Structure 1
Amino acid sequence: MNRAQREAAARRIMERTPPSVPPELYAEAVQRGGRMLRRRKAAMLLMWLVLFAATMAFVVWALTARPWVEPPSETTPPLTGW
């Protein structure tokens, strides 16, 4: 099949009338789309809540552990000269 034949076949396909869509399909698509949007919104809300909780846990840990402060020395320096 050469290019002209492929173009002609494509034109014939595009010139056909589209098949009719069953009327109950629209209601089902709207229902399914609404369900998908609700699930997506719930997932986003859950993600933001988990992110907020993780941030708060990190802040509380950082304020109590204070990792930026140098820990006290575990050993004492040797006593010399007395």
Structure 2
Amino acid sequence: MNALPNRRDDEVRRLLDTPHPVVPVDMAARAALRGRRIVCRRRVEHTVLWALFVAAAVTGLVLAALTWPNDPSSVPSDGTWWSP
């Protein structure tokens, strides 16, 4: 292998040899609480979006049913798909 000293390796060793910063005691509990809040918020957002999607689909179906031509005289009877 390379016998020459690597400057980056020396810098990493110096960084790892220094004392580590103190971590708050309740950090894991706060992270878990925040994670639960994020999951709950996403679940509520997804539920609301799905409810809006279903409401829009039902509204579209109702509007299509209400505006469907019920009068057979308004449909052209000459066998074409469009009226000339």
Question: Does 1 or 2 have the higher relative contact order (CA < 8 Å, sep 6+)?
Answer: 2
Same fold (TM over 0.5): yes
Structure 1 unaligned spans of 5+: 74-82
Distance 1:7 1:54, change over 3 A: same
* Aligned length in residues: 67
Instruction: Give the TM-score, by structure 1 length.
Output: 0.63
Fraction of identical pairs, as percent: 28
Find runs of 4+ consecutive structure 1 residues off by over 3 angstroms: 10-20
Q: 2:57 aligns with which of 55, 58, 67?
A: 55
* Residues 23-32 or 44-53, more deviating: 23-32
Q: Deviations over 1:16-60 (max 9, x none)?
A: 675442111111111111111100000000000000000000001
Structure 2 unaligned spans of 5+: 1-5, 76-84
